[in-house]
Amino acid sequence: MVNIGPKVSYFCVGLGIGAIVSLLIAPRSGEETRELIAQKMEDGKEYAQRKARELRERAEDFAGRGKNALVQQTETISAAFDAGREAYQREKAKAL
């Protein structure tokens, strides 16, 4: 599986640096700049929440798949064990 943690971190740092540079060179008043900063912060918060939700859903999906695979393997092993026990009992009964 690809580790996307550092990529997301670099993206967020780059996004922050770009936002700061754009604010420093933008010809806006203080009030407009504060409103812009507040809006960008809200946008970033929503983006982070959306990505966290998507990652949580993917993790839950992978966990569900893993659980299903474990249940199937357990059932297969249990069936093989039961079949072996029955075969042993049959052979034991024949021997007596």
CB distance 12 to 20 below 8 Å? no
How far is it, in rounded angstroms, from Cα 41 to Cα 91?
A: 74
Long-range contacts of 13-16 (CB under 8 A, 24+ apart): 15/44
CB distance 26 to 33 below 8 Å? yes
pTM tops 0.75, yes or no: no
Q: What is the pLDDT of residues 59-87, one digit of tens each?
A: 999 999 999 999 999 999 999 999 999 99
Q: What is the pLDDT of residues 17-67, one digit of tens each?
A: 887 787 777 676 778 878 888 898 899 889 989 999 999 999 999 999 999
7 pLDDT more than 80: no
Q: What residues contact residue 8 under an 8 Å CB cut-off, 6+ apart?
A: 51
